[in-house]
Amino acid sequence: MAKHFVSNTDESVRMFNADWLDFFSRIDYKVPLFIYIPVIVYFLYLSFITVPLFYILPLILFGLMVWTFAEYNLHRFVFHWQPPGKIGERIHFMFHGVHHDYPRDSKRLVMVPAVSLPLAVGFYLLFKFLLTKTFGDANLVNPFFVGFVIGYLFYDMTHYALHHVNFKSKFWLDLKQHHMIHHYSDPHNGFGVSTTFWDLVYRTTFKRQKQAVEVNS
């Protein structure tokens, strides 16, 4: 069987014929910081004026935990889902296949705003509905959403760093090793990026010791 193509250079393949569409398929890794840090600050401000102080930190931590769960499930069940047929292959390539073919493409390592913003709005509305139904207070979504967005930003920055930073500490080296095995050896396991916790819960850790993967390549 022919080996699946994987580029090991920081090259960016064209995804769309239209120049404007292709332009919006790429993003500098710093852009999410400029978009979502103000979102965090705004919802943190709302938290302090709408929610009792002793609720804020637990809700932020809860939102952060829920992000890790969402991250794992989005990666495993959405990004790695391939619909049938040629159209399905094309959809999968645009959403995530391109990243597995060109894992060092520095312009496609964080979510483009065209994807992350609709997801953020959708998650916000869902969490607001659920928290209101459960606790009768729509304002609880404010600190919860702070934690959720912090988790998302940490994920995006971690994902970029795992592909482009040479780490020294054991924590980051282990996390990078985990992600590199997912890319280069076992794409059917190891779906956690910012944490490996849910891989342990779902039993999608790597089943046996894989061949060494150069984590600082």
- 153-171 confidence digits (pLDDT tens): 999 999 999 999 999 999 9
pLDDT for 11 equals: 73
pLDDT at 120 over 70: yes
| Mean pLDDT taken over the chain | 89
Q: Which of 44-53, 71-80, 84-93 has the lowest mean pLDDT?
A: 84-93
Q: Is a pLDDT exceeding 90 seen at residue 24? A: no
Distances (CA, A) of 209 to 184, 186, 213: 13, 11, 11
**Tens digit of pLDDT for each residue in 193-202?**
999 999 999 9
Residue 1 pLDDT exceeds 60: no
Nearest to 70 by CA among 200, 217, 174, 195: 195
Model confidence at 211, pLDDT cuts 50, 70, 90, reads very low
Per-residue pLDDT, 172 = 96
Phi, psi of 168 (to 5 degrees): -120, -35
69 vs 217, residue with greater confidence: 69
Query: Does residue 56 have a pLDDT over 70?
Result: yes
Question: Distance between CA 68 and CA 71 in Å, rounded?
Answer: 5
CA-based nearest residue to 215, from 169, 170, 162: 162
Question: What does pTM read for this prediction?
Answer: 0.90
Reading the block at residue 99, the tokens are 């990243």
The token pair at 148 is 């959720």
pLDDT at 3: 47
Q: Is the pLDDT of residue 99 over 90?
A: no
Q: Is 50 exceeded by the pLDDT of residue 86?
A: yes
Percent of the chain residues topping a pLDDT of 90:
68
Alpha carbons 105 and 81: distance in angstroms, whole number: 21
